[in-house]
Structure 1
Amino acid sequence: MQTSTTIAALSTGSLPSGVAVIRLSGPKAFAAVRALCGTLPVPRMLTLTTLRHPGTGDALDQGLLAVFPGPNSFTGEDCAELQVHGSPAGVKAILSALTGHCEVELAGAGDFTRRAFENGKLDLTAVEGLGDLLEAETESQRRQALSRLDGGLADQVMVWRALLLDARAEIEARLDFSDEDDVPFALPARFIVDLQELVGKLKDALDSYQRGRIVREGFRIVLAGAPNAGKSSLLNRLAGSDLAIVTAEAGTTRDTKDVAIDLGGQLVTLTDTAGLRETDSLAEGEGIKRARRAMESADLVLWLISPDAETTPDAAPDVPLWRLGTKSDLGPTTGPIDLSLSVMTGEGVPALLKRLESHIEGRLGASETSLVSHLRDKKALERAILSVKTALDRIEQPELCAEDLRRAADILAGLIGLMDNEAVLDRLFAGFCIGK
């Protein structure tokens, strides 16, 4: 799919900077480059050039130019990149010349990547992998995103979809001859077994979602407990910065506060919460409601108990919960605890970090990183599994069984973008930066 418009945008970060890259894509990209630079260089070879205003001939900047003829380019169209000085005035002048004299439009968020998808250069899961790669903060996120971008999930989905299409073809081929008395309706011996094995593979992929989600979004740890139990102090200690307000007054924290840290190459999101207690304060009461919601969606709850704070019954979320005795420098805490520590002296903090790292590694497992990491993946796999299981239940009704297999194949096709959902596409590409 070739588009009729030519787009341009700054593809590097905020200005000023050492170097700024301006990207062009579309049918008039090369004509625009000629208008500014005079000639085109050898494809895929950086060439030093002077950029001049097409109308006045005044020099705009000096930089490097590279051109990438379609379809062998990122977007599948004719593309060009200008590496110029990262001057706000210089970049503005170049973009103004392109849009004012070269029939070029400014690109919107994700426009280049969307063209790559529409021209078959990237499938939808690879697009999501590219977005994940741009946002990757840890080594595990980088590896997972790069595997997805390289087509790891799409290749597997194509294998599953091919199996479904073959199974549907087996049924429909026999339906075509169902009116022939001498042609019995008999499916291959392994037909049912093959579909059952496919269900097992889809379930294995679905079961890996939590591992993939943890790598992509971060392992969520919620600090909870009574007011003044030391939650904000522990957050600051683990984050290595005074991010949360800490006072002797109980109930200082009125809202949840998220802080991201890198723990052994894994992204961890720490959430400070309001102390749980009975209160007449509307603001504190809302903070307590948010604290309970955060606990329900956590991967791990650290329940803090200190000797100088009121005791509160342990909450019972449907997630793992560790009881930590805080402020050990003030004395022992009452009741059973999993670990004792003091933010003031540092006692127990290294042990807590080591235990957290080991726990997260255990949750992720020793296997390779899961490529099933988006909620969209999870929902598609759930629906595909249901359709195949329904097909197996209706194996004696071949017309309905074939329809169930068609539905499952279409669901997997939608996962990789073979069947477009415009609403999904709009939401996905809107999350990209302009120039990507």
Structure 2
Amino acid sequence: MRSGDTIVALSSGTTPSGVAVIRLSGPDVPSILVAVAGAIPEPRKLVLRPIGTDSLLDRGLVAYFPAPHSFTGEHCAELQVHGSPAGVRAILRLVVNHGARLAEAGEFTRRAFENGKLDLVEIEGLGDLLDAETENQRRQALARFEGGLTTRIDGWRDQLLDLRAEIEARLDFSDEGDVEDALPADFGHKIENLHADITEAHASVEHGRVIREGIRVALAGAPNAGKSSLLNALSKSDVAIVTEEAGTTRDVREVPLDIGGQLFILLDLAGLRETDSKAEAEGVRRAKLAIEQADIVLWLTAPDIADIDRIKTTTPILRIATKTDLAIQSAPSDLTVSVKTGAGISALLTRLADMGKDLGSGEPGLLSRERDRLALEEALHGLDAAVRQLAMPELAAESLRLTSQSLERLVGRMDAERVLDRLFASFCIGK
């Protein structure tokens, strides 16, 4: 990405559409507005303007946001025009001819980061907000984007600065009469309180991950126990092939499902059995791995299929007796369903929603990424070291400094370059 020039992009999605929003950012925005819209509007007010130079291309609303009071911190503008593919192409071509260039993926947001408008965790929240599919995901992403996590991290950093100041004052000004040699009696207690607060936050990462990535529900059991049929019934679509032939499913099929505002990822797995087929054996291996990594396991049994020994796992297991329409005695189960008649499907969805509340309910989990978990673990290691080193103030001060650095990396205030390219590349053009 190149800074210092002016960029333009369609920000409102694919045309045709009722309205198309064309966004500009950079130093040449004022002159480009004069060239393509006749004048610079009053800041932060929508004004109806003809769009074109030698000939009229469209007529739309124009807004101008002068630096630094804009999304990117640069001069910005938006042209709200009709969502005609030909019209949008013509306007983009006109703007480029007057000195702008087409933006790269995520370039507007990256400029906001580089100009101090957003930090790294807020940008991650924005990306999650754009991708949010459920109400819980929306709430979580918005809380992160609005700076909820940043505020908490800043509070930790302020405490660390106070702790470091106590030690470093004694190291740097030990010969001054108004600086005591010994640390305050509650110094160690303050570190322990901070450690407890970060530990609590670290424990919430899994809760946040479940909301952000979804609750993984593995449909497991013997071949022909009805896994693919149940997947189709729950998702209300024919996403899985269903036949009487055993071993049809060879791979792990993932289907997202919104249940009560919480994202569930249903995993249709190969039937578990011994087999001479290399392809099916690989499917069984992947199925076992998926069960180990799942948040919930639905263990399916059918009255016309011999059950198998359940895999030992600590994951919660819900026993589902399928094919109850066959009127054959079923094995003991938690719930019974019939895909053919629809019996029990609503009860199963309700049961999953209740289990989902235990896994993903409560306040939005601000911490939800592996990067969050690693940063907090590094911070906790630093605090542990500082407690052990209180008798050696120089080492304790260094451990507290490293703790601060781990939190600064989390918000992108240092060593951020290595994660920027990957992060911003996931954004759509025009954002």
Quote the residue 2:277 is aligned against: 281
- The farther-off stretch of 10-19 and 152-161 is 10-19
- The farther-off stretch of 329-338 and 263-272 is 329-338
Whether contact under 8 Å (2:224, 2:244) holds in the other structure is yes
Q: Distance in 1 between matches of 2:320 and 2:179?
A: 72
Quote the residue 1:205 is aligned against: 201
Q: Secondary structure at the match of 2:225?
A: coil
Establish whether residue 4 from structure 1 lines up as the match of residue 4 from structure 2: yes
Whether contact under 8 Å (2:321, 2:331) holds in the other structure is no
Runs of at least 5 residues in structure 1 that lack an aligned partner in the other structure = none
Quote the residue 2:105 is aligned against: 109
Quote the residue 2:13 is aligned against: 13
Q: Distance in 1 between matches of 2:178 and 2:50?
A: 79
Residue identity in the other structure for 1:408 = T
Quote the residue 2:364 is aligned against: 369
Q: Distance in 2 between matches of 1:335 and 1:247?
A: 23
Whether contact under 8 Å (1:126, 1:150) holds in the other structure is yes
Residue identity in the other structure for 1:15 = T
Establish whether residue 66 from structure 1 lines up as the match of residue 74 from structure 2: no
Q: Secondary structure at the match of 1:23?
A: strand
Q: 2:167 aligns with which of 158, 165, 171?
A: 171
Whether contact under 8 Å (2:262, 2:360) holds in the other structure is no
Q: Distance in 2 between matches of 1:21 and 1:78?
A: 16
Residue identity in the other structure for 2:309 = P
Whether contact under 8 Å (1:305, 1:333) holds in the other structure is no
Q: 2:402 aligns with which of 392, 402, 407?
A: 407
Q: Distance in 1 between matches of 2:179 and 2:248?
A: 79
Residue identity in the other structure for 2:168 = E
Whether contact under 8 Å (2:72, 2:108) holds in the other structure is yes
Q: Distance in 1 between matches of 2:121 and 2:178?
A: 47
Quote the residue 2:235 is aligned against: 239
- The farther-off stretch of 287-296 and 150-159 is 287-296
Residue identity in the other structure for 1:247 = T
Quote the residue 1:306 is aligned against: 302
1:433 to partner: Cα distance: 0.3
Whether contact under 8 Å (1:222, 1:271) holds in the other structure is yes
Map 1:14-413 onto structure 2 (within 5 A): 14-53=14-53, 57-99=54-96, 101-178=97-174, 185-332=181-328, 335-365=331-361, 367-413=362-408
RMSD (Å) for aligned C-alpha atoms: 1.7
Q: Give me the TM-score of the superposition, normalised by structure 2.
A: 0.96
Q: Secondary structure at the match of 1:301?
A: strand
Residue identity in the other structure for 1:305 = T
1:420 to partner: Cα distance: 3.6
Question: Residues 156-200 of structure 1, C-alpha deviation per residue, up to 9 Å, x if partnerless?
Answer: 000001111111111111112446799753111211111101111
Q: Secondary structure at the match of 1:213?
A: helix
Q: Distance in 1 between matches of 2:289 and 2:95?
A: 51
Q: Distance in 2 between matches of 1:27 and 1:156?
A: 34
Whether contact under 8 Å (1:32, 1:98) holds in the other structure is yes
Whether contact under 8 Å (1:306, 1:333) holds in the other structure is no
Residue identity in the other structure for 1:129 = G
Q: Distance in 1 between matches of 2:208 and 2:319?
A: 27
Q: Secondary structure at the match of 1:84?
A: strand
Distance 1:282 1:51, change over 3 A: same
Residue identity in the other structure for 2:342 = G
Establish whether residue 431 from structure 1 lines up as the match of residue 407 from structure 2: no
1:371 to partner: Cα distance: 0.6
Q: Distance in 2 between matches of 1:387 and 1:333?
A: 60
1:286 to partner: Cα distance: 1.7
1:336 to partner: Cα distance: 3.5
Q: Secondary structure at the match of 1:80?
A: strand
Question: Residues 132-163 of structure 1, C-alpha deviation per residue, up to 9 Å, x if partnerless?
Answer: 11111111111111111110000000000111
Residue identity in the other structure for 2:161 = L
Whether contact under 8 Å (1:323, 1:338) holds in the other structure is yes
Q: Secondary structure at the match of 1:27?
A: coil
Q: Distance in 2 between matches of 1:108 and 1:423?
A: 18
- The farther-off stretch of 327-336 and 399-408 is 327-336
1:334 to partner: Cα distance: 5.6
Distance 1:127 1:90, change over 3 A: same
1:331 to partner: Cα distance: 3.9
Q: Give me the TM-score of the superposition, normalised by structure 1.
A: 0.95
1:310 to partner: Cα distance: 3.1
Q: Distance in 2 between matches of 1:74 and 1:26?
A: 11
Distance 1:44 1:177, change over 3 A: closer
Distance 1:333 1:186, change over 3 A: farther
- The farther-off stretch of 2-11 and 128-137 is 2-11
Runs of at least 5 residues in structure 2 that lack an aligned partner in the other structure = none
Whether contact under 8 Å (1:340, 1:348) holds in the other structure is yes
Question: Residues 259-286 of structure 1, C-alpha deviation per residue, up to 9 Å, x if partnerless?
Answer: 1111111111111111111111122122
Whether contact under 8 Å (2:19, 2:82) holds in the other structure is yes
Q: Secondary structure at the match of 2:184?
A: coil
How many residue pairs are counted as aligned between the two chains? 430
Whether contact under 8 Å (2:195, 2:383) holds in the other structure is yes
Q: Secondary structure at the match of 2:9?
A: strand
Whether contact under 8 Å (2:303, 2:331) holds in the other structure is no
Distance 1:104 1:180, change over 3 A: closer
Residue identity in the other structure for 2:372 = D
1:337 to partner: Cα distance: 2.2
Whether contact under 8 Å (1:110, 1:435) holds in the other structure is yes
Question: Residues 232-277 of structure 1, C-alpha deviation per residue, up to 9 Å, x if partnerless?
Answer: 0110111111111111111111111111111111111111111111
